[in-house]
Amino acid sequence: MSKICTFLVCCFFVFSASASASASDSINVGTSYSLNSKVLNEARSYLVYLPPSYNEGNRHYPVLYVLDGDIHRFKGIVGVVEALSTETLSNQITEVIVVAIPNTVRSKDLTPSILPEWKFNGVVLERFEETGQAKKFLSFLEKELIPTIKKSFRVSEKKILVGESFGGLFSAFVLIHSQSSFSDYLIVDPTALWDNDYLNKEYSVIKNTQTVKANVYFAFANNSNIGEIGITNYQWGSKFASNISENTNDEIKFLKQYFENENHGTVALMAWYNGLRFLLSNPDK
């Protein structure tokens, strides 16, 4: 009996020490900040991830600006970034700083035109209280958030905008109207259905007056499961990507990929993996 008691006591102390050590370990992926925006007239939070080598020298890093940047998307894309940029997966991309921007009113910030009722073929897809403030949100990024990041961290001139769905629509809007705000664009399954083919209509007005000088990666999902809406969204989005491709030169990196086995809700991870490797390939590999 005494041997059994001794064994149980030993197990208890081993377990307690293990549990204590486990509980005291903290794994942080980033830090949350807040910025009082005069442009938007509201406080906006943002999340920042710094690469493992950040505190080891004076190196300057590219910055990944991630739209729809809630904590789940932030942790997801940071996981992909850190894995691809460290020895875990053979240093396939260069290390980057990640800045994720959570939404307040998503339909307001990320849509480029006022559209209280979003229709397709006469059918109302969705109704919104606020839309069409993409220009103002871009001004917030250009005049407030990006300068704040530049002042607070060691950043290079390489800035990548990452957007999916409405975020992809916004990213495409920036590419059309203010492409120099970012050096690279990672656009995932954009809402090309917005405002009856808004992107192609807008781009047709200006495509002969400017050449695309930013690197661009497009990812498209197979949304045929939702019928004509999904098929048309891909057709219009793919047409827009092709128009961008036709207006680039040989010095610009451009890639468009279609993921037949992914839908609108599942394509992000494949897009991040392929898009980051395309835009941030490690020159030393």
- Segment 76-97 mean pLDDT: 95
- Segment 102-130 mean pLDDT: 94
Backbone angles phi, psi at 90, to 5 degrees: 65, 30
Looking at the domain assignment, is residue 10 inside a domain? no
Looking at the domain assignment, is residue 49 inside a domain? yes
CATH number at residue 120: 3.40.50.1820
Q: Which residues contact 222 (CB under 8 A, 6 or more apart)?
A: 230, 234, 258, 259, 260, 261, 262, 263
Average pLDDT for the chain: 91
Distance between CA atoms of 174 and 215, rounded to whole angstroms?
Answer: 13
Looking at the domain assignment, is residue 213 inside a domain? yes
Looking at the domain assignment, is residue 57 inside a domain? yes
pLDDT at position 283 over 90: no
Model confidence at 17, pLDDT cuts 50, 70, 90, reads very low
Looking at the domain assignment, is residue 129 inside a domain? yes
- The string of pLDDT tens digits covering residues 154-212 is 999 999 999 999 999 999 999 999 999 999 999 999 999 999 999 999 999 888 788 99
Kindly report the number of other CB atoms within 10 A of residue 109's CB atom: 26
- Segment 111-117 mean pLDDT: 94
The pLDDT score that the predictor gives to residue 10 is 41
Amino acid at 284: D
Kindly report the number of other CB atoms within 10 A of residue 267's CB atom: 23
Looking at the domain assignment, is residue 15 inside a domain? no
pLDDT at position 19 over 90: no
Looking at the domain assignment, is residue 186 inside a domain? yes
Looking at the domain assignment, is residue 7 inside a domain? no
Total number of domains in the chain: 1
Half-sphere exposure of residue 62: CA atoms within 13 angstroms, side-chain side? 21
**Boundaries of domain holding 267:** 30-279
pLDDT at position 119 over 60: yes
